[in-house]
Amino acid sequence: MKKKRRTRSNNFARILFILILCALPVILGKVLWDTMRPAPAEEADLRPAAARAGYFHALVKVEGVSADRLERYNAYYRAGFGLSMDEAVELVNWDVDILCPNGPDERIFELAQDKFFVGRNLSRYLAIYDGNSQNVRAVVEKVNASRDRIAYADIEPTDLSKGIMVLVNKYHYLDSSYVPDDLVSAASQYCQYSSAKLRRPAYEAFVKMAEDARAAGYIIKINSGYRSYSTQRSMYNNYVAGHGKAEADTFSARPGFSEHQTGLAIDMSTPGVGYWSFGDSAAGKWVHANAHRYGFILRYIEDKTDITGYIYECMHFRYVGVDAATVIHENGITYEDYYEKYVK
Ligand SMILES: [Zn+2]
């Protein structure tokens, strides 16, 4: 029994030895191959790429992510400022990683509380924000209205693709050749003088408002609607001749910078009441309270003359549609605030 067992175990050792002998070249070959073959270039980055992939996978679920900013989100998120992924995305979208490479400034979070804060204006807000949180609204409002720029100097052609939401002010102008393509002549009963033209949507809204006003006992008319570039030029030049340029600029727009050239603005009037007294008349008060329901806003409001750059114009209304007019009326803001936040 003993001898037989020994023989069997010898056989087993022999077979094992032969097997190892056969496998050895294969194992050695594999080791040599792994050591000597050149590593593919992309393998060098494999580990960081995998880490990024995990981050990016989570990132695509965050709102407002832009593909060309992925590396910047990643870098700011991992910079050790304790930001959540959503915060990192939002701040980078506002270029805070460039403005504040050492971590976001407390002032940014204060400014962002404002209802009409717009991220792309952040560097301009910061340039005039003194850090007193009482002033946040004034800062946002001022920049949104371009009042940190020089009127009639820092100018740009307005974006006509915005249609009835077009912005015209002392920083955004219309070409001298611009004439709206849907001007209609107002029926004579709506005109204070012999005629007036408006863009069709503004005219239709005005007619509806004038009819409702009439039903309520008030007569409202169009004192002035669309004005061409050349008409505005003559008017402005007359005002400059009579009042001097500085004063004329407070109540009359330079040619190309007038909302009347859009065909969407109306100076309203009521019979027997002077141009500048419309707002105090019963008809004017009705219009001030109701115009937004028809899509009109009082454009140059009393407590925002520093923001609009115009004195209070109780008769000048601008058509922007009912939705925008309602938001603007209810918040007591200028059209510039609305435009920056929702239209631009
Ligand atoms: Zn006007």
Per residue, what are the HEC states of the chain?
CHHHHHHHHHHHHHHHHHHHHHHHHHHHHHHHHHHHCCCCHHHHHHHHHHHHHHHHHHHCCCCCCCHHHHHHHHHHHCCCCCCCHHHHHHHHHCCHHHHCCCCCCHHHHHHHCCCCCCHHHHHHHHHHCCCCHHHHHHHHHHHHCCCCCCCCCCCEECCHHHHHHCCCECCEECCCCCCCCCEEECCHHHECCCCCEEEHHHHHHHHHHHHHHHHCCCCCEEEECCCCHHHHHHHHHHHHHHHCHHHHHHHCCCCCCCHHHHCCEEEEECCCCCHHHHHHCHHHHHHHHHHHHHCEEECCCHHHHHHHCCCCCCCEEEECCHHHHHHHHHHCCCHHHHHHHHHC
Scan for tokens 């900013």, then name that residue: 69
pLDDT at 43: 46
pLDDT, one tens digit for every residue, the chain (344 residues): 444 555 666 777 777 777 777 777 666 666 555 555 545 444 444 556 666 677 777 777 788 898 899 889 989 999 999 999 899 999 999 999 999 999 999 999 999 999 999 999 999 999 999 999 999 999 999 999 999 999 999 999 999 999 999 999 999 999 999 999 999 999 999 999 999 999 999 999 999 999 999 999 999 999 999 999 999 999 999 999 999 999 999 999 999 999 999 999 999 999 999 999 999 999 999 999 999 999 999 999 999 999 999 999 999 999 999 999 999 999 999 999 999 999 99
- Farthest-apart Cα atoms in the chain, separation: 136
Query: Rounded CA gap, 136 and 122, in Å?
Result: 12
Q: Quick check: is 313 catalytic?
A: yes
Ligand 1 center–CA 81 separation, angstroms: 51
Specify the pLDDT at position 56.
Answer: 75
Distance 258 CA to ligand 1 centre (A): 8
Quote the tokens at residue 73. Answer: 């989100």
Are 144 and 121 contacting, i.e. CB atoms less than 8 angstroms apart? Answer: yes
Q: What is the pLDDT of residue 28?
A: 64
316 CA to centre of ligand 1 in angstroms: 4
| pLDDT at site 1 | 42
Q: How far is the CA of 178 from the centre of ligand 1 (A)?
A: 18
Please say whether the structural domain 156-343 has been given the CATH code 3.40.190.10. Answer: no
- pTM given for the model: 0.81
Q: How far is the CA of 254 from the centre of ligand 1 (A)?
A: 12
Domain ranges of the chain: 64-144, 156-343
**Contacting residues for 37 by C-beta, under 8 A, at least 6 apart:** none
pLDDT score of 307:
96
Question: In angstroms, what is the span from residue 240 Cα to ligand 1's centroid?
Answer: 17
CA of 241 to the centre of ligand 1 (A): 19
Burial (CB < 10 A; 0-12, 13-18, 19+), residue 65, is: middle
Among the listed residues 141, 313, 336, 340, the single catalytic one is 313
Residue 21: the pLDDT is 73
State both tokens at 311: 């004195």
